[in-house]
Amino acid sequence: MTVREVQKILNATLLCGEDALDAQVRTSCGSDMMSDVLAFVKDQSVLLTGLLNSQVVRTAEMMDMVCIVFVRGKTPDQSVVDLAKARGIAVMATRYRMFTACGLLYEQGLKGGCESDGE
Amino acid sequence: MANDTIKLELEVPGDDFTRAGEASSTVKGMLKKLGFSPNVVRKVAIAMYEGEINMVIHGGGGQITVEISPESGVSMSLVDHGPGIPNIELAMQEGWSTAPDSVRNLGFGAGMGLPNMKKYSDEMEILSEVGVGTTVNMKVHLA
């Protein structure tokens, strides 16, 4: 799946990262706790979160994630978007809540990528 | 890649959560430029980032020294002068946290910081004295 497809499935507004729209996304993670996200390293992931601070971008940066989706119609400060832009990470906002957003992506074939989930 | 060991000294401000992670970001960028493997870069970045967050949340900031060796790997020493850890064994358990709700609202304090640091580093030791501070030494090997 590409970042562009993620945007389409979630009917999301792109806040930055047009250059990354064709990047491949292989796994996904949904959490508001960044340490939980950091516990599960996966390549080319998308992060779904309702947390809006700069540490979301830092977490995505450390894990080489390609895309951040802010759920529940939330949008972060411009400084957070700028930080993501500087790191080449696509950022988008969707009106869907976390459960629904994760479900829509899962339904289209995007998995968590964790052996413990039986995937 | 040059054979010389590179030593970096980085300050971690204790009063600005928005800047937490800058030191780890700097080191990650440098390791990428030096040509270290993506796996080594990511292990160092995550272990150091968790430590840096801990220094800001619990330790009031501090200093990080990083030694980058193209032959033996990356060593990190994270030093703070915060309250110290009374029971290191307990602190190492997943889910154990003394962080207040204000920190949890920022996305941390789930009790995964130290376990994550141990998971992503190949060697780790914690030296801590209550009332004096904490030093965490970590190493990530090349292989």
Q: What is the ipTM of this complex?
A: 0.89
What is the pLDDT, as a whole number, of residue A116? 66
Residue B141: how many CB atoms within 10 A of its CB? 12
- Find out if CATH 3.30.300.20 is the number for domain B6-140: no
Nearest chain B Cα distance for residue A110, angstroms: 23
H-assigned helices in chain A:
3-9, 34-38, 54-62, 78-86, 98-107
Distance CA A12, CA A73 (A): 9
Token pair recorded at residue A88 = 């080449």
Band of pLDDT at residue B110, cut at 50, 70 and 90? confident
Question: For residue A119, is it within any domain?
Answer: no
Q: Residue A52 belongs to a domain with what CATH number?
A: 3.40.1390.20
Question: For residue A69, is it within any domain?
Answer: yes
Strand, helix or coil for residue A89? coil
Mark yes or no for CB contact A62/B115 under 8 Å. no
Residue of B38, B106, B113 lying closest to A55 (CB–CB): B106
Mark yes or no for CB contact A61/B20 under 8 Å. no
Nearest CA in chain B to A64: B42
Nearest CA in chain B to A34: B107
Question: For residue A118, is it within any domain?
Answer: no
- Domains of chain B, residue spans: 6-140
Look up tokens 């801990």; give the residue: B54
Question: For residue A8, which of A64, A69, A81, A99 has the smallest C-alpha distance?
Answer: A69
Question: For residue A77, is it within any domain?
Answer: yes
Contact A58, B25 (CB under 8 A): yes
Nearest chain A Cα distance for residue B15, angstroms: 15
Contact A70, A50 (CB under 8 A): yes
Domain that holds residue A62: 3-110
Mark yes or no for CB contact B17/A55 under 8 Å. yes
Average pLDDT for residues A61-67, to the nearest whole number? 94
Does the structure show a pLDDT above 80 at A70? yes
Q: How large is the angle between the packed helices B113-120 and B38-57, nearest 10 degrees? A: 150
Q: How many structural domains compose chain A? A: 1
Best B30, B40, B46, B102 member to test A by mutation, with max A CBs in 10 Å, is B46
Average pLDDT for residues A13-37, to the nearest whole number? 94
